[in-house]
């Protein structure tokens, strides 16, 4: 097991393990914000379009790093009932967190794409990418949200994951790649030398550049004999 230098380094390693998707009609979807630089490297290597699937973790009040569920674009809500029951979190507290995160999800939808519509995913193979998997609740919300949009195939690819989470999620998608599953896992950030926060501006810049690459490829295809 090794620690990645940063998310770009992790993305390049992940991309090197996804060669089986080369030549397919693939779309790479990143979970913002940390998954975006990872996914950008995968999209570059595969020559695939890049977009985001926005998911917000529902943090336990007072212990926000602990997830009690997640929201995804399209009105998808996934709750971790085990955590909620164990901590006896009242419905009113859950509703308050959901309302706050719904507002932030909408804000990011508006901010990241700069008016561009979402990349079409119906009938295509989709690779969902994040910088790591801990509990998996965020990724499960992403998978549920994505299914509503009619993809042909859903794959999940992450540089590092908790073993149990990777194994559990494998039964919910068509393909999964967890490049490293260290024991003990503890936290995603421990497996990066630089795990600084990815900013909204960085996300916008990456998506703008990815959109230009896709347009250039489309133009080159139209001009081919």
pLDDT in tens, 8-49: 999 999 999 999 999 899 999 999 999 999 999 999 999 999
Average pLDDT over residues 126-133: 98
Q: Which two tokens stand for residue 116?
A: 């561009």
Please give the share of the chain, as a percent, with pLDDT higher than 90.
75
pLDDT tens-place string over residues 96-121: 999 999 999 988 888 898 788 889 99
What phi, psi does 204 have (nearest 5°)? -60, -45
In DSSP notation, the chain reads ---BSSHHHHHHHHHHT-GGGTTS-EEEEE-TTTHHHHHHHHHHHHT--EEE--EEEEEETTEEEEEEEEEETTTEEEE-HHHHHHHT--HHHHHHHHHHHHHHHHHHHHHHHTTPPPPP-TTSEEEEE-S-BSS-HHHHHHHHHHHTT--SEEEEEEEEB-HHHHHHHHTTSSEEEEEE--SS---GGGGBS--PPPPHHHHHHHHHHHHHHHHHHHHHHHH--
Average pLDDT over residues 68-76: 83
Q: For residue 75, what pLDDT is reported?
A: 77
Report the side by side order of strands in the sheet with 63-72: 55-60, 63-72, 76-79
Mean residue pLDDT across the chain: 92
Q: For residue 33, what pLDDT is reported?
A: 92
- Residue 97 CA, chain-centre distance (Å), reads 21
Q: 219: pLDDT confidence band, cut at 50, 70 and 90?
A: confident
Q: Which of 52, 33, 28, 17 is nearest to 195 (CA)?
A: 33
Q: Are 104 and 65 in contact (CB under 8 A)?
A: no
Average pLDDT over residues 141-151: 90
pLDDT tens-place string over residues 40-62: 999 999 999 999 999 888 999 99
Q: For residue 70, what pLDDT is reported?
A: 85
Q: 191: pLDDT confidence band, cut at 50, 70 and 90?
A: very high
Report the alpha-carbon angle 72-150-70, nearest 5.
Answer: 15
Average pLDDT over residues 116-127: 92
Average pLDDT over residues 188-206: 96
Residue 197 scores a pLDDT above 50: yes
Q: What CA–CA distance (Å, rounded) separates 72 from 102?
A: 9
Dihedral of CA 82/85/88/94: which sign?
Answer: positive
Q: Which domains does the chain have, with CATH numbers?
A: 7-223 (3.40.50.2020)
Give every CB contact of residue 113 below 8 A, 6+ residues apart in sequence: 51, 52, 207
Q: 223: pLDDT confidence band, cut at 50, 70 and 90?
A: very low
Q: Which is higher by pLDDT, 75 or 98?
A: 98
Beta bridge partners of 127: 28, 155
């Amino acid at each position: 097991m090794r620690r990645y230098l940063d998310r770009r380094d992790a993305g390049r390693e992940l991309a090197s393990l996804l060669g089986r998707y080369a030549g397919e009609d693939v779309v790479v979807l990143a979970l913002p914000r940390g998954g975006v630089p990872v996914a950008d490297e995968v999209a570059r290597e595969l020559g695939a379009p890049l977009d985001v699937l926005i998911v917000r973790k529902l943090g336990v009040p007072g212990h926000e790093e602990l997830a009690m569920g997640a929201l995804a674009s399209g009105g998808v809500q996934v709750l971790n009932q085990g955590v909620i029951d164990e901590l006896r979190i009242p419905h009113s507290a859950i509703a308050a967190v959901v309302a706050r995160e719904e507002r932030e999800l909408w804000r990011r939808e508006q901010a990241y794409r700069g008016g561009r519509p979402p990349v079409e995913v119906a009938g295509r193979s989709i690779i969902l990418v994040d910088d790591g998997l801990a509990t998996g609740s965020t990724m499960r919300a992403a998978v549920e949200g994505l299914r509503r949009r009619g993809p042909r195939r859903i794959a999940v690819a992450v540089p590092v994951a908790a073993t149990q989470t990777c194994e559990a999620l494998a039964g919910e998608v068509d393909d999964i790649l967890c490049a490293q599953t260290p024991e003990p896992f503890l936290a995603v950030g421990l497996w990066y030398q630089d795990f600084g926060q990815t900013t909204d501006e960085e996300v916008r810049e990456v998506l703008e550049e990815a959109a230009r690459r896709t347009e250039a490829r489309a133009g080159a295809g139209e001009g081919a004999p």
